[in-house]
Amino acid sequence: MKISKNIVLKGKILDFDTPRVMTIINITPDSFFEGSRTSSSDDILRSVERAVAEGASIIDIGGYSTRPNAAFVSETEEIHRVTSALEVVRRNYPDLPVSVDTFRARVAEIAVGDYEADIINDVSGGTLDDNMLPMMAKLNVPYILMHMRGTPQTMAQMTDYDDIVADVLKYFAERIDTLRQLGYCSDIILDLGFGFAKTTEQNYKLLANQRAFECFELPILTGISRKSMINRVIDTTPQEALNGTTVLNTLALLGGADILRVHDTRQAVEAIKLVEYYRAASQ
- Cross-strand partners of 182: none
- Cross-strand partners of 24: 60
Distance CA 158, CA 175 (A): 19
Distance CA 105, CA 81 (A): 16
> Is the distance from CB of 44 to CB of 28 less than 8 angstroms?
no
Distance CA 251, CA 165 (A): 17
Assess whether 273 carries a catalytic annotation.
no
Question: Of residues 175, 198, 226, 261, which has the active-site annotation?
Answer: 261
Assess whether 227 carries a catalytic annotation.
yes
Distance CA 30, CA 10 (A): 32
- Cross-strand partners of 23: 59, 262
Distance CA 57, CA 258 (A): 12
Question: Of residues 46, 227, 232, 273, which has the active-site annotation?
Answer: 227
Which residues have a catalytic role annotated? Answer: 227, 261
